[in-house]
Amino acid sequence: MDSIADVLQDYLNNVIYDPEHAVLDLQKLPEEFQEFGKNLVLFSDCVMEMGALAKAISKGNLGVELPSPINEMAAPLKALHASLKHLTWQTQQVAKGDYQQRVDFMGDFSEAFNEMVEQLEQRRLNLLTDICTEREKLKEFQNIANIDTLTQLNNRRYGMEVMEKWLLEGRSFVLCFVDIDNLKFVNDWYGHAEGDKYITCISDEMSELTPEAVICRIGGDEFMLLSEDWNSEVAKEKLEILRKRLINCNCVYERSISYGVIKVGADNTLNVSDILSAADEKMYEYKRAYKLRQKRKP
């Protein structure tokens, strides 16, 4: 028959090396050893609970069942488990973009974690700065691509894009083709600096008179206006007002414009080039009629 020491030794060996088979039959112990046996079983259960928790933590399994409240020996491991669960939550918050998370309960690891989060926040800020800078550059490039440098109006490229878009969407709009009268004469006799003033004078007047329109400088002395809010008569009235303003301004040479107006309906079948050609022809009709009126004046 095994001695009491052998029974207890076998039990402890199983607790350490084969917990699943660690069983101590208290009935086989003498009465005077049974209380000791109960306490030994309790101690062994606490050790095995700690081992199971430590093993789970080592594998990253934080959903493991915790040791019973009476297991005071497992308190440090349970505290570690709670810290790791909270740290997991904090890490998830950082992953969602909350860079205000800080750890102050895990010694050296806290310093490393906090430094990592600070670096992530700084990189995020740097990235946002880079994105804003790139957006500003893109906006500048778009302005360069779409803006006429002399008048600061939209250029031909932008105007063609708007027309193509409106035609594709089946919109109804009015197109006005405006030509500066006598610009070559002004350039030849008064210089190109004065010619530029003539151009900017007309562009400024046009912008003031027709702010609701898309105004584009599409050539040296040519402008295009696009509006969904006008009909042909309204467009002609506005351009006549502009023309009279120019004629009546105090200048050593006559300032004026000629124009052609085209109404583009939702059922339009013409392409951009055809519409521009039609408006250009209307403009030349106006110019010829104006010259004829001038000749007939007494």
227 has which bridge partners?
Answer: 174
DSSP character for 68?
P
Any residues with CB less than 8 A from the CB of 284 and at least 6 apart, and which? Answer: 258, 260
Domain regions of the chain by residue span: 4-95, 99-146, 154-296
pLDDT of residue 49: 84
Any residues with CB less than 8 A from the CB of 215 and at least 6 apart, and which? Answer: 153, 154, 203, 206, 207, 223, 224, 225
Cβ atoms of 206 and 283 within 8 Å: the answer is: no
Alpha carbons 52 and 96: distance in angstroms, whole number? 32
Buried b (16+ CB within 10 A) or exposed e, 41-77: beebbbbbbbebbeebeeeeeeeeeebeeebeebeeb
pLDDT of residue 2: 64
Alpha carbons 267 and 261: distance in angstroms, whole number? 18
DSSP character for 63?
T
* Structure-block tokens of residue 234: 């309204």
CATH superfamily of 154-296: Reverse transcriptase/Diguanylate cyclase domain (3.30.70.270)
Q: How many CA atoms lie within 13 A of 289 on its CB side?
A: 10
Taking 50 as the pLDDT cut, the residues of the chain under it are: 1, 295-298
Per DSSP, the three-state class of 2 is coil
Pairing of strands 154-155, 222-227: unpaired
pLDDT of residue 25: 77
